């Protein structure tokens, strides 16, 4: 089973920045949906930005949603678990300097 959505930030470029329950962060591009049926409302950027997390996926006020598996599988991953925890080279240098 793929991870579910933990947090979402809608962006001005019709992309969703999504944090998944496994700690990965991805960008999902919704621009291809703008002319498709129930998603036409996304053409109004103010409406698009009302995206929120509900039951492990992303939803909008008029009941549009996107399958969490699709969000995970089709998002461009921009961070992975532990990436920020590894620290930078300067962190290692600081630790050596304290010894």
Q: Contact 30/40 with Cβ under 8 angstroms?
A: no
Domain ranges (residues) in the chain: 5-98
Residue 29 CB-density burial (10 A; 0-12 exposed, 13-18 middle, 19+ buried): middle
Give 46-94 pLDDT, tens digit per residue. Answer: 999 999 999 999 999 999 999 999 999 999 999 888 765 434 444 444 3
Domain 5-98 in CATH 3.40.630.30: no
Considering only residues 7 and 1, tell me which one the structure prediction assigns the higher pLDDT. 7
- How many Å apart are CA 48 and CA 60, to the nearest integer? 8
Count of all residues that appear for the chain in the document: 99
């Amino acid at each position: 089973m793929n991870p579910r959505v933990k947090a979402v930030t809608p962006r001005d470029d019709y992309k969703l920045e999504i944090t998944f329950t496994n700690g990965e962060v991805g960008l999902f591009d919704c621009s291809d949906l703008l002319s498709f049926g129930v998603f036409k409302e996304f053409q109004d950027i103010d409406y698009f930005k009302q995206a929120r997390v509900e039951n492990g996926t992303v939803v909008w006020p008029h009941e549009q949603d996107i399958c969490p598996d699709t969000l995970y599988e089709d998002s461009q991953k921009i961070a992975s678990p532990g990436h920020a925890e590894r620290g930078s080279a300067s962190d290692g240098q600081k630790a050596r300097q304290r010894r």
